[in-house]
């Protein structure tokens, strides 16, 4: 790890420096894992890996794309719904972030089931017959977007308790932007 840090100088490419920062954070995260006392970061990483490998591949490309579209739609509704704050203040829930996360996940699941039974599935045509590596890539993007959107609803003090790697990859402005834009780019560029 120190060998990589010595190679990066102030005149290095910012992209290289950013990649090295993520690699350093990943190394620190892996060294700090204590399997006897699991943390939320470990849960997020394990959720990410298990979901990508099992859930995404078992669904297939067409359903993963419908899931991505459902996530975008649920994110747009929950992020811009003015009544959510009013609904929380009128009840005794008291924690807007928990209500927003629950609303997002509920709306996402509802939209996925409604859209998977709609004409949207028929519009994919040959798109649904993707290769296995495309399903794997879309699965990574689907789970990354889901984790990033869910973490975006948490208060900043809760995000401050996460490991630096988790903060950079999923909760930072750059991480959120990455997980929102890259699945769209993949849907546009990856042909079956």
Cα atoms found within 13 Å of the Cα of residue 102, Cβ hemisphere only: 8
What are the boundaries of each domain within the chain? Answer: 1-31, 40-189
Distance CA 185, CA 31 (A): 34
pTM score, whole prediction: 0.66
Estimate the crossing angle of helix 96-116 against helix 132-152, to 10 degrees.
150
End-to-end CA distance of the chain: 39
Kindly report, residue by residue over 99-141, the tens digit of the pLDDT: 788 888 899 889 888 887 776 666 554 445 567 788 888 888 8
Which pLDDT does position 4 carry in this prediction?
Answer: 43
Q: State both tokens at 161.
A: 């308790």
pLDDT at 87: 57
């Amino acid at each position: 790890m120190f060998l990589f840090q010595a190679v990066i100088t102030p005149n290095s490419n910012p992209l290289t420096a950013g990649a090295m920062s993520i690699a350093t954070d990943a190394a620190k995260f892996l060294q700090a894992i204590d399997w006897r006392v699991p943390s939320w970061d470990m849960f997020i990483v394990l959720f990410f890996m298990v979901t990508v490998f099992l859930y995404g591949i078992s669904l297939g490309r067409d359903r993963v794309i419908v899931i991505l579209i459902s996530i975008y739609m649920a994110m747009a509704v929950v992020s811009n719904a003015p009544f959510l704050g009013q609904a929380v203040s009128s009840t005794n829930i008291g924690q807007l972030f928990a209500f927003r996360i629950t609303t997002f996940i509920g709306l996402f699941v509802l939209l996925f089931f409604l859209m998977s039974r709609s004409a949207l599935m028929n519009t994919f045509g040959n798109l649904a017959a993707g290769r296995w590596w495309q399903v794997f890539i879309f699965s990574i993007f689907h789970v990354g977007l889901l984790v990033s959107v869910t973490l975006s609803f948490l208060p900043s003090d809760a995000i401050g308790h996460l490991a630096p790697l988790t903060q950079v990859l999923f909760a930072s402005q750059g991480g959120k932007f990455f997980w929102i834009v890259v699945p769209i780019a993949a849907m546009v560029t990856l042909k079956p």
